[in-house]
Amino acid sequence: MTTLLTPAAAADRTGVSLDTLRYYEREGLIGPIRRSPGGRREYTEDDLFWIGLVTCFRDAGLGIADLREFVAILRAEHSAQDRVTFLRERRATLEQRVAALRRAMEVLDDKIAYYS
């Protein structure tokens, strides 16, 4: 028997608010989450794991649309080749962000050196 979590528990475990959980589901980033007979959401461990992935990418600055595309690619039938291509593209954009951050950090380092 798989343990099911209430929305509150899921929010607690993932650090994502109830509203945001619902929002992500509406947007197709997670779920659809199964429901109890009464209509309440019941989150599985798998759901939590997936939510973790989503928040990981959100934290990295990917937008909702990006993530929706990500979900689509991983869920729908796509050749492994397509998936790899897509994933590599995403990886490249993340690397560009890292580069932008490094540039900014260099500027800060220069200023820090100047004032030290």
Partner DNA sequence: ACTTGACCTGGAGCGCGCTCCAGATCTGAG
Partner DNA sequence: CTCAGATCTGGAGCGCGCTCCAGGTCAAGT
Burial (CB count <10 Å: 0-12, 13-18, 19+), residue 71: middle
**Binding of DNA by 64 (CB under 7 A):** yes
**Nearest to DNA of 58, 90 (CB atom):** 58
**Spatial CB neighbours of 35, under 8 Å, sequence gap ≥ 6:** 41, 42
Closest contact distance (angstroms) between CB of 32 and a copy of itself is: 22
**Nearest to DNA of 8, 76 (CB atom):** 8
Q: Report residue 5: phi and psi, to 5°.
A: -115, 145
CA distance 89 to 22: 29
Residues 77-116 that bind DNA (CB under 7 A): none
**Nearest to a copy of itself of 40, 106 (CB atom):** 106
Q: Which residues of the chain form contacts with DNA (CB under 7 A)?
A: 6-9, 17-20, 22-23, 35-41, 58, 63-65
